[in-house]
């Protein structure tokens, strides 16, 4: 009953948590070493007494010495043995919150969890209260208001001289979106949760039970961002904006998340990540989104640890916003091939791409040319290709618009765009010593508004063209017809270089470069060939140029 909600002693609320907001150091309201609970937790899971609440508590307390251990063993037992009563939730006449019935049936709604918890603590000699209020639980919509009677129940326990909060309903598991199935999924977060975090999702009828100073108003509770428990358990610290409803400005909305350590993120705007640009930063991420329709859109942010070795490390939804879009920015469109996140980050660095010359995710070029450099980690082989919407760049052509050159441990990527528009530069890598295929690492967005731009591809490179060879001229893969063309190529470990057009021309070696001229009359293509050994008559093809048709 709301009227009988107990009040904590006034003197205690003032000295509880003068720190508000949360100081980010601990998720709990008292120091708890979960490792020390390992044996106790395992014991609680095995106890199987259904005869009476008293006998159950007696069995559980065999392994518990301190008050904290008593609360812990009761908490663990309830979270793993009582399931949420979905039928009872939909049909009041079929449910009971009486602790005896909850124990017998092994299921209940939140009030039954809280009553059973209170009674078990009472038998164990621990002060415990059942609290009621509003919760941002099943069916909650960002920014909604709460009216009428309270809709949830939880508990407060008195340990080591002060009150602490917990919610065994939410600790036990979750229901699906259709509210037809409950799944046991233990959640440590709701055990002795720090009050500054508990208020995020639980608003007690009696504001003293927020255990905070100052307390929040219901309006503030409604307007505050809901951080899901995974937000905190993953080590995330803050999100901006701090309100659940975001208005676009000129068709754009921005979100950022701060976290302790490197995290991987993804987002969905109305179920897709097409209309946004996400960048990873050392301690978090930034996201700009551009909805392509007016109206309200659901934006979900997901996260997972960067060292996600365990198979169960999937992306967890950590935040949900509603984006209200008044006008659409038609000028900002992203190519289909663009992968989130965009641009270099700690992730590309970890894959061996160090000191990028272009740190921003978008490269703007007016003349259709740009150049990137990286310092490469050891034993890394790189592959890069250019992509755009439409069929102007087939896979092999996309590679030919990027020219890779190595200088020691530096790699340079020259890009010549075939036309104006938005392009994706994708960068792949593999260990040089691995025979396997290349893995995608990261990408950039390249934009060029200049409709005059029309760069031909670079010359075609064959497998005998080594990664530390360099084309100084001609860079264009399309040579003018009926002209003398100057060649200058940097190659080592070669005995002889020939350029084959209608006639064959020999290049001369001069200070590490092979130089010479060739005439393009009467041919459709020009091929550069090398003799690796002066004693062999065998030539290898290394480059191929096209010649313009008359």
d(CA 335, CA 423): 7
* CA angle, 246 then 249 then 255, to 5°: 45
Question: Residues 6 or more apart from 344 whose CB is under 8 A from it?
Answer: 353, 356, 358, 359, 442
Residues 108 and 172 in one domain: yes
Q: Confirm whether 275 is a catalytic residue.
A: no
Specify if 143 maps to a domain: yes
**Interval 503-522: pLDDT, tens:** 999 999 998 899 999 999 99
The whole-number pLDDT of residue 23 equals 65
Identify whether residues 418 and 465 lie together within a single domain: no
Residue 432 shares a structural domain with residue 292: no
pLDDT per position as a tens digit, 385-412: 999 987 667 767 888 999 999 998 999 9
Angstrom distances, CA of residue 544 to CA of 424, 463, 471: 25, 12, 12
Is there a single domain that holds both residue 167 and residue 144?
A: yes
Q: Annotated catalytic residue: which of 81, 121, 164, 167?
A: 167
Does residue 4 sit within a domain?
no
24 located within any domain: no
Q: Which of 152, 275, 297, 401 is catalytic?
A: 152
The verdict on 415 and 527 lying in the same domain is no
When pLDDT is cut at 50, 70 and 90, the band that residue 276 belongs to is: very high
Q: Are both 211 and 188 inside the same structural domain? A: yes
DSSP string, 120-177: HHHHTT--EEEEEEEE--TT--TT----SS--EEEEEEEETTEEEEE-HHHHHEEE-T
User: Which CATH number characterizes residue 432's domain?
Assistant: 2.60.40.10
Helices (H) and strands (E) in the chain, counts: 13, 34
Share above pLDDT 70 across residues of the chain, in percent, rounded to a whole number: 94
In the prediction, which pLDDT does 178 show? Answer: 85
**110 in active site:** yes
Q: By the 8 A CB rule, do 462 and 542 touch?
A: yes
Which domain-ending residue is among 433, 458, 483?
458
d(CA 429, CA 431): 7
Specify if 229 maps to a domain: no
Active-site option among 79, 110, 121, 388? 110
- Return all residues near 254 (Cβ < 8 A) that are at least 6 apart: 286, 287, 288, 289
Task: Choose the final residue of a domain: 420, 437, 458.
Answer: 458
Enumerate residues 6+ apart whose C-beta is below 8 A from 135.
151, 152, 154, 201, 202, 203
For residue 231, give the nearest of 288, 193, 279 by alpha carbon.
193
Token pair of 92 as six digits: 């009041």
Residue 466 and residue 413 in one domain = no
Q: Say how many residues make up the chain.
A: 550
Query: Of 404, 438, 458, which one is at a domain's C-terminal end?
Result: 458
332 assigned to some structural domain: no
Same structural domain, 476 and 454: no
The strand pair at 316-325 and 245-247 is best described as parallel
DSSP H or E segment with residue 346: helix 346-350
| 441 and 515 housed in the same domain | no
Tell me the residue range of the domain where 43 lies.
Answer: 34-219
Whether 88 and 164 map to the same domain: the answer is yes
**Residues 285-340: pLDDT tens digits?**
999 999 999 999 999 999 999 875 555 578 999 999 999 999 999 888 899 999 99
Structural domain total, the chain? 4
Instruction: Check residue 2 and give its pLDDT.
Output: 38
Residues 452 and 466 in one domain: no
- How far is it, in rounded angstroms, from Cα 39 to Cα 20? 35
Residue 3 has pLDDT above 50, yes or no: no
């Amino acid at each position: 009953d709301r009227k009988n909600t107990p009040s904590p002693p006034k003197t205690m609320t003032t000295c509880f948590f003068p720190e508000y907001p949360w100081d980010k150091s601990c998720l709990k309201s008292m120091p708890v070493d979960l490792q020390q609970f390992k044996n106790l937790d395992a014991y609680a899971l095995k106890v199987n007494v259904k005869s009476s609440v008293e006998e159950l508590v007696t069995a559980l307390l065999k392994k518990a010495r301190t008050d904290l251990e008593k609360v812990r063993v009761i908490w663990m037992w309830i979270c793993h043995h009582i399931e949420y009563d979905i039928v009872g939730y939909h049909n009041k006449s079929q449910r009971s919150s009486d602790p005896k019935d909850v124990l017998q049936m092994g299921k209940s709604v939140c009030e039954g969890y809280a009553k059973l918890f209170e009674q078990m603590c009472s038998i164990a000699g621990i002060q415990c209260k059942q609290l009621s209020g509003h919760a941002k639980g099943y069916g909650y919509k960002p920014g909604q208001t709460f009216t009428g009677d309270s809709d949830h129940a939880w508990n407060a326990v008195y340990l080591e001289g002060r009150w602490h909060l917990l919610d065994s309903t939410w600790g036990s598991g979750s229901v699906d979106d259709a509210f037809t199935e409950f799944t046991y999924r233990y959640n440590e977060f709701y055990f002795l949760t720090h009050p500054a975090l508990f208020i995020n999702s639980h608003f007690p009828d009696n504001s003293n039970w927020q255990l905070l100073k100052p307390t929040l108003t219901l309006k503030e509770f409604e307007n505050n961002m809901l951080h899901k428990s995974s937000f905190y358990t993953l080590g995330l610290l803050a999100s901006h904006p701090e309100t659940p409803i975001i208005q676009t400005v000129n068709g754009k909305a921005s979100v950022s998340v701060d976290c302790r350590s490197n995290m991987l993120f993804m987002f969905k705007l109305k179920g897709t990540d097409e209309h946004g640009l996400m960048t990873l930063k050392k301690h978090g991420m930034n996201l700009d989104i551009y909805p392509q329709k007016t109206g309200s859109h659901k934006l979900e942010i997901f996260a997972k640890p960067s060292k996600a070795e365990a198979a169960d490390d999937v992306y967890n939804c950590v935040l949900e916003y509603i984006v209200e879009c008044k006008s659409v920015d038609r000028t900002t469109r992203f190519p289909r091939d663009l992968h989130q996140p965009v641009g270099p980050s700690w992730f590309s660095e970890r894959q061996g791409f160090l000191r990028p010359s272009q740190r921003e995710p978008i490269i703007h070029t007016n003349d259709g040319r740009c150049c990137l450099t990286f310092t490469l980690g050891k034993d890394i082989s790189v592959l890069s290709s250019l992509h755009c919407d439409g069929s102007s760049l087939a896979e092999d052509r996309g590679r030919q618009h990027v020219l890779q050159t190595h200088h020691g441990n530096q790699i340079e990527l020259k890009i010549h765009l075939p036309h104006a528009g938005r392009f994706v530069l994708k960068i792949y890598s593999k260990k040089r010593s691995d025979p396997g295929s290349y893995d995608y690492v990261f990408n950039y967005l390249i934009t060029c508004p200049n409709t005059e731009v029309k760069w031909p591809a670079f010359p075609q490179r064959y497998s005998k063209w080594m990664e530390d060879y360099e084309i100084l001229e001609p860079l264009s893969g399309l040579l003018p017809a009926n002209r003398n063309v100057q060649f200058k190529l940097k190659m080592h470990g070669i005995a002889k270089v020939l350029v084959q057009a209608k006639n064959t021309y020999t290049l001369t070696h001069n200070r590490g470069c092979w130089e010479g001229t060739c005439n393009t009359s009467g041919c459709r293509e020009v091929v550069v060939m090398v003799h690796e050994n002066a004693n062999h008559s065998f030539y290898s093809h290394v480059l191929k140029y096209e010649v313009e048709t008359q």
